[in-house]
């Protein structure tokens, strides 16, 4: 599951803007930003993101259906929150 896929599933404009802002500021140029968007979340990042969605974080689980089928919903989140800087 790519970071881009997660951003597409976000349902709250403020959270979306915050995530994109953080990602953009991690990159030196447009090429790095594109690469970051295309990069896969780590296993811990996927588990945390899915757990956060189950617990009210503004992500549409319907939009992430393929990722949920592939990775399942974890019982415990390794990293708190969905923060691209930690994944």
72-83 pLDDT, tens digit each: 544 333 222 334
Per-residue pLDDT tens for 25-61? Answer: 889 999 999 999 999 888 888 888 888 888 888 888 7
pLDDT of residue 77: 33
Q: What is the DSSP letter of 53?
A: H
Give the Cα separation of 77 and 85 in Å (integer): 16
Residues 83 and 32 sit within 8 Å (Cβ to Cβ): no
Give the Cα separation of 14 and 84 in Å (integer): 15
- Which residues have C-beta within 8 Å of that of residue 43, sequence separation ≥ 6? 71
Judged by phi (left if over 0) then psi (alpha if -120 to 50, else beta), residue 56 lies in: left
Residues 77 and 51 sit within 8 Å (Cβ to Cβ): yes
């Amino acid at each position: 599951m790519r970071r881009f896929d997660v951003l597409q599933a976000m349902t709250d404009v403020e959270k979306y803007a915050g995530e994109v802002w953080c990602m953009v500021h991690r990159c030196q140029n447009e090429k790095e930003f594109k690469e970051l968007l295309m990069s896969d979340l780590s296993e811990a990042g996927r588990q945390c993101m899915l757990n956060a969605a189950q617990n009210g974080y503004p992500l549409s689980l319907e939009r992430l259906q393929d990722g949920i089928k592939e990775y399942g919903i974890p019982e415990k989140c390794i990293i708190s929150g969905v923060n691209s800087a930690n994944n």
